[in-house]
Amino acid sequence: MQYTHELEFEVRDYECDMQGVVNNGVYQNYLEHARHEFLRSHGINFAELTATGVNLVVIRAVLDYKNSLVSNDRFVVRSLIRRVSPVRFEFQQDIFRLPDEKLMLAAIITGTSLNQRGRPFVPELLQDLFGTG
């Protein structure tokens, strides 16, 4: 798979549950932060985009938990984006533990953009990410 972005993290103690592993919901925080950094790496500021009346929203999240991260684990979120319909896009995001590159989580996050009237569309600046203008 040809990922277009990657971001490294380290598990913090407070992200772990009583079993000593990263709480399942925390993985969504990792994925979201990686998506925001992906956008930033392409000159798109999430907060500024929202201020213009364009809201990027998640409409579906499929997470396949493969293995568990634990405190102090280093890991990388690798992402790619593709358009799946005229008004939807998907982020394929995988989390790999470092340094052994063990797959910990595979996710597909489907999103869209809503205009000021709440109607789905894909703004031109996102279309540029798909290579379709």
Q: What is the pLDDT of residue 1?
A: 75
The pLDDT value given to residue 131: 61
DSSP state of 132: -
Q: What are phi and psi of 113, to 5 degrees?
A: -115, 140
Whether 17 is a known active-site residue: answer yes
Q: What are the sequence ranges of the domains in the chain?
A: 5-130
**Check whether domain 5-130 has CATH 3.10.129.10, yes or no:** yes
CA 76, CA 94: separation in Å to the nearest integer? 8
Model pLDDT, residue 125: 85
CA distances from 122 to 4, 43, 59, 75, 85 (A): 19, 16, 14, 31, 10
pLDDT in tens, the chain (133 residues): 788 999 999 999 999 999 999 999 999 999 999 999 999 999 999 899 999 999 999 999 999 999 999 999 999 999 999 999 999 999 999 999 999 999 999 999 999 999 999 999 988 888 888 864 3
Active-site residue, selected from the candidate residues 17, 64, 73, 94: 17
Question: Which of helix, strand or coil describes residue 108?
Answer: strand
